[in-house]
Amino acid sequence: MQDENIRETDQAGTETSRYPSRVVLTMGALYLSVFSYAMGLTITAAAIRTITSDFHTINDIGWYASTFMLSTCACQMLFSRMYASLSTKWTYLGAVATFHTGSIICAIAPSSAIFIIGRAIAGGGGAGLMTGSIIITAQAVPLRHRAIPMGAFGVLYSFGGIAAPLLGGALTSECWTLIYPGDGCFYISPPIGAVVIFLTILLVPSSPTPAREKKSSWISLIKQFDPVGTTIFAGTWASLLLAIQWGGDRYAWDDPREIALFTLSAVLLVVWVISQWLMEENASLPLCILRQRTVACTTVYVFATMPAFHLMVYYLPIWFQAIKGDSAIESGIHNLPVILSDGLFSIITGVGISTLGYYTPFMIGGAMLMAIGAGLFLTFHVNTTLPFWIGYQIIYGAGVGMALEQPFTAVQTVLPEEDTVAGTLLIVFCRSLASAIMVPVGQKLLNNHLIAGLANSQSELDPETILRAGAMGLQSTILQAAPGRQDIVDLVLQVYNEAVLKVFVVALAVACIGVIASFGIEWRSVKKEKE
């Protein structure tokens, strides 16, 4: 079945390559999709004050981001089977519609519970949106020219993630909320979705549905979607992420409920692996592709570099807001060096791969620069000046631009055509899962070290008060609690700086793992025909 689906995509790619303007417009629609998804990951960071004020609760703050990522991971395998068994075009349209429906629900949500439901729906649609964008690109652009458009995905993903707090801060300002009551930052998504849906319907060729061509029975069609494996898979990561989310806050780490969740996650993972092995060709994720050296090493590479990127995207703005007193908009502006460097080196990498044919040296160099940049971030202190944090961001952004999107090129180069979709889905899944796990872990590290540091600092401030203030409200909260005590402000900023650096240590560690994994990736040329 995947063979037929791939043959259809090959025909579509050949046909589309004859019309450059059509390819450009198609890629434009896909870029808008990726940009909106990246914004969805981080836009709540700037809107959190408005959201908590509207819903009169701070108890659900942790769920606003984690629900999105949990839903993305849980739905990943479902979309895996849909793209393998159904029309790519209409599956993608369904994912886009689901994602933006979730955003609309968030925009008009009357309560925190409805808002969380909207985030879950958006995250589920996002699982298919990212995967579909990569698959449609593979259909439309020949392998030897694919590095440049794939690099552009990385730029827009980075820009969307970092620009979201900037836009969120602007769109939750008083002047905007007078025009659009509610969570105004979520109103930006539906117009983008409308444009994407229109261009996709108009430009992306429709391929016949494999299941209909074979006239399969309903039972056979249901089996193709691997409902048992998909359910087990969703339960595995839901249990793990809930354990991470609740651990240390709602329950102690040694609480029986925490132990039960971690145990359940491990057991379900083993059951899922066994079910995938038994399903053979009908498995959601053919495990046999992991036997290929480059695929195995690239999987580890993605599990390392993607969380390294996301930890910086989330916590570098927090450092600017807490330590430098930036607003959401100002912290977004101060993150421009990493965006611009990412964009420049994505273009350089794309041109370099298209010219030289080899992606491996760029993956090695990218991971190294990310590790070097993360190491330099560890030198941050309260008085770090502009030249240093700009220079460090440029180095880190260069690494991101070289590293982030090349895993797709790698697996699409080394795998046979019938496994290309499965390889793409594997990389998207690893990206989503690694970030979904590591971002909450980063938050736990920040909170735990902040609480411990404040307790040992004898600042006489309640750690919970500091945590609830958030990064943007930190300095004003300290001055309200200790009027005229600049010494207390300096002390708390020092503690907060050290807590953020603990997160950067994790980013450095995983980036170094990415460097090690990169040396196992084969040197294959995108210019050579597949064997």
Report d(CA 222, CA 515) in Å as an integer: 41
Highest mean pLDDT of the ranges 36-40, 282-286, 483-487: 36-40
How many Å apart are CA 113 and CA 196, to the nearest integer?
Answer: 29
Please check the confidence at residue 4 and state whether its pLDDT lies above 50: no
- Residue 28 and residue 155: Cα distance in Å, rounded? 13
3-class SS of residue 247: strand
* C-alpha atoms less than 13 angstroms from C-alpha of 500 in its C-beta half-sphere: 27
Please state the three-class secondary structure of 394-429 as a single string: HHHHHHHHHHCCHHHHHHHHHCCHHHHHHHHHHHHH
Which has the minimum average pLDDT: 147-156, 160-169, 242-251, 282-291?
160-169
- The answer, yes or no, to whether residue 316 has pLDDT greater than 90, is no
pLDDT score at 35? 86
Write down the pLDDT at residue 60: 65
| 334 vs 481, residue with greater confidence | 334
pLDDT in tens, 255-303: 899 999 999 999 998 998 888 777 766 666 777 788 889 999 999 999 9
- Distances in whole angstroms, Cα of residue 403 to Cα of each of 366, 511, 521: 5, 11, 13
Residue 465, amino acid: T
pLDDT above 50 (res 232): yes
Q: What pLDDT is recorded for position 260?
A: 94
Give the residue from 403, 394, 357, 377 showing the smallest Cα distance to 146.
Answer: 357
Out of 253-257, 384-388, 432-436, 455-459, least confident range: 455-459
* 373-403 pLDDT, tens digit each: 999 999 999 898 889 999 999 999 999 989 9
* Angle in degrees, 0-180, between the axes of helices 474-481 and 486-518, rounded to the nearest 10: 150
- Which pLDDT band holds residue 162 (cuts at 50, 70, 90)? low
Alpha-carbon Rg for the chain in angstroms: 23
* Chain position carrying tokens 């030198």: 379
pLDDT value for 62: 62
DSSP 18: T
pLDDT in tens, 167-197: 665 655 544 443 344 455 677 788 888 999 9
- Burial call 256-293: b when 16+ CB within 10 Å, e when fewer: eebeebbebbeebbebbeebbeebeebbbbbeebeebe
Give the model's pLDDT for residue 298: 94
* Plot region of 215 (φ>0 → left; ψ -120 to 50 → alpha; else → beta): left
pLDDT value at 514 more than 90: yes
Tens-digit pLDDT profile for residues 90-141: 999 999 999 999 988 988 888 888 888 998 899 889 888 888 888 888 888 8
Q: What is the mean pLDDT of residues 26-31?
A: 89
Give the pLDDT mean for 22-41: 86
Q: Which residue has the higher pLDDT, 468 or 338?
A: 338
Q: According to the model, what pLDDT value does residue 3 have?
A: 45
